[in-house]
């Protein structure tokens, strides 16, 4: 296989081979923790792919048609060790060959799932801003131009926008939720505390545009080898971002299908353990930051909710039966990690959760647990 217009080299790790485009002469050197990179694009777009040939053409076309111009974006496609006899990789090489100055393709030798694939790609991103798109989804043609203009106008760390669902039978379908447009600027500890507990930002990664410098400064990474990987990336950014714009414009189209990796995993109750473990990783990450003492009550509110309460809620949504032994694992982790779990300055706004937390040291049987889950 020849790459006449690209610089081909091998990444010296256990994970991947990389085919990177020739770097333009007018680019400037960009210093990262991984070494010198070239800053020549307005936006780097990271697209993890796994057995994606069915969806890639529509996804790529939506990126190619961006009104900001293909010359202003850098597309980083990651073949996450696909098992389709190299079909995904062959499609990616065709795409790269056609647009070598705007595309990097990475081939992982070991499947790291979406989080790990994104982590690898971030090491090679050179854009001023970073966006994430999944290979089975697609975006509006005005996405990058409008989001970038918003980001530059307000010097934003994060721009969050709306998305809708897409199915082959129904087309685009509203999510049923509505974000109110808002500019958020944080100057004080009290303002950030208010921002954190109001939860105006979602924890999905792909309905946002991020300033690259913000990601570097926070040193965030995705959880790997699991689903629900995004909170470990998104939540810590809320402590580093000072300027955020929320727009109600729909830029992203999230495909709902039954054949994706995520859908199959949701049929297995090990999904619940993945979810809980990611939230524990978020908690452990935040303990190492300078913000832990300042925002302890807010982090505790988030951790107790996502690690315990939300795991039970997901079990209800997916019709999973939670064993008492698994619940006891969750309970013991809470008691160990958060000894003051019964106290919270926000107790009045979470009465249903406090009912659960106040019960943790009691002898909980499966009937009580089942009855409680039915109430949430």
The answer on 287 and 247 residing in a single domain is: no
Name the 3-class secondary structure at 345. Answer: coil
Per-residue confidence (pLDDT) for residue 34, from 0 to 100 = 36
The answer on 284 and 250 residing in a single domain is: no
The range of the structural domain enclosing residue 202 comes to 6-262
The answer on 187 and 40 residing in a single domain is: yes
The answer on 226 and 288 residing in a single domain is: no
Domain-embedded: residue 319: yes
pTM for this one?
A: 0.86
The answer on 120 and 31 residing in a single domain is: yes
| Domain's final residue, options 202, 236, 262 | 262
State yes or no: pLDDT of 267 exceeds 50.
Answer: no
The answer on 144 and 129 residing in a single domain is: yes
State yes or no: pLDDT of 70 exceeds 80.
Answer: yes
* Contact status, residue 222 vs residue 229, Cβ threshold 8 Å: yes
Compute the distance between CA of residue 103 and CA of residue 19 in angstroms, rounded to an integer: 9
Domain-embedded: residue 307: yes
- pLDDT per residue as tens digits for the range 208-250: 999 999 999 999 999 998 888 999 999 999 999 999 999 999 9
Per-residue confidence (pLDDT) for residue 39, from 0 to 100 = 52
Number of neighbouring beta carbons within 10 Å of residue 93: 21
* Contact status, residue 322 vs residue 315, Cβ threshold 8 Å: yes
* Contact status, residue 88 vs residue 53, Cβ threshold 8 Å: yes
State yes or no: pLDDT of 58 exceeds 80.
Answer: yes
- pLDDT per residue as tens digits for the range 152-208: 999 999 999 999 988 777 777 777 777 899 999 999 999 999 999 999 999 999 999
- pLDDT per residue as tens digits for the range 130-155: 999 999 999 999 999 999 999 999 99
Which residues are bridge partners to 47 per DSSP?
77
The answer on 235 and 211 residing in a single domain is: yes
DSSP state of 349: G
Higher pLDDT, 264 or 184: 184
Per-residue confidence (pLDDT) for residue 111, from 0 to 100 = 96
Tell me the average pLDDT across 350-374: 96
Domain-embedded: residue 341: yes
Strands 103-108 and 73-79: parallel
% of the chain with per-residue pLDDT over 90? 78
State yes or no: pLDDT of 306 exceeds 90.
Answer: yes
Which residues are bridge partners to 171 per DSSP?
167
What stretch of H or E contains 115?
A: helix 113-122
Average pLDDT in the chain: 87
The answer on 276 and 255 residing in a single domain is: no
Domain-embedded: residue 1: no
State yes or no: pLDDT of 93 exceeds 90.
Answer: yes
Tell me the average pLDDT across 368-373: 95
State yes or no: pLDDT of 8 exceeds 50.
Answer: no
Chain position carrying tokens 């089975």:
136
Per-residue confidence (pLDDT) for residue 28, from 0 to 100 = 32
The answer on 258 and 119 residing in a single domain is: yes
Per-residue confidence (pLDDT) for residue 269, from 0 to 100 = 66
CATH of the domain at 167: 3.90.550.10
The answer on 316 and 256 residing in a single domain is: no
> How many domains does the chain divide into?
2
State yes or no: pLDDT of 261 exceeds 80.
Answer: no
The answer on 250 and 108 residing in a single domain is: yes
The answer on 171 and 251 residing in a single domain is: yes
Higher pLDDT, 263 or 286: 286
| Domain's final residue, options 211, 240, 262 | 262
Domain-embedded: residue 275: yes
Name the 3-class secondary structure at 50. Answer: coil
| Domain's final residue, options 244, 262, 280 | 262
Residue 25 confidence class, pLDDT cut points 50, 70, 90: very low
């Amino acid at each position: 296989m020849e790459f006449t217009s690209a610089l081909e080299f091998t990444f010296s790790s256990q994970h991947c081979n990389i085919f990177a485009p020739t770097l333009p002469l007018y680019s400037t050197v960009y210093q990262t923790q991984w070494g010198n990179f070239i800053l020549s694009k307005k936006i780097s777009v990271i697209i993890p792919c796994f057995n994606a040939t069915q969806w890639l053409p529509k996804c790529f076309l939506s990126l190619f048609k961006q009104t900001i111009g293909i010359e202003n974006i850098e597309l980083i496609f990651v073949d996450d060790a696909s098992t389709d006899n190299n079909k995904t990789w062959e499609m990616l090489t065709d795409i790269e060959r056609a647009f070598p100055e705007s595309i990097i393709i990475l081939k992982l030798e070991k499947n790291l799932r979406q989080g790990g694939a994104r982590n690898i790609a971030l090491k090679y991103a050179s854009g001023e801003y970073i966006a994430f798109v999944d290979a089975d989804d697609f975006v509006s043609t005005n996405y990058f131009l409008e989001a970038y203009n918003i980001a530059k106008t307000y010097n934003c760390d994060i721009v969050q926008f709306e998305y809708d669902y897409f199915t082959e039978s129904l087309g685009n379908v509203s999510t049923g939720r509505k974000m109110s447009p808002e500019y958020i600027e944080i100057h004080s500890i009290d303002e950030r505390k208010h921002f954190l507990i109001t939860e105006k930002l979602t924890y999905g990664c792909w309905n946002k545009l991020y300033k690259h410098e913000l990601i570097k400064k926070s040193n965030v990474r995705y959880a790997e080898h699991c689903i629900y990987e995004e909170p470990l990336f998104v939540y810590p950014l809320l402590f580093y971002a000072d300027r955020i714009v929320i727009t109600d414009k729909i830029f992203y189209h999230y495909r709902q299908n039954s054949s994706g990796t995520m859908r199959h995993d949701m049929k297995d109750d090990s999904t619940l353990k993945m979810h809980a473990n990611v939230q524990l990783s978020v908690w452990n990450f935040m303990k190492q930051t300078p913000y832990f003492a300042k925002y302890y009550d807010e982090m505790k509110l988030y951790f107790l909710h996502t690690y315990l309460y939300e795991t039970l809620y997901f079990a209800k949504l997916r019709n999973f039966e939670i064993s008492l032994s698994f619940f006891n694992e969750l309970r013991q982790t809470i008691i160990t990690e958060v000894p003051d779990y019964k106290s919270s300055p926000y107790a009045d706004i979470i009465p249903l959760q406090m009912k659960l937390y106040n019960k943790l040291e009691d002898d909980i049987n499966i009937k009580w647990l089942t009855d409680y889950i039915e109430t949430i």
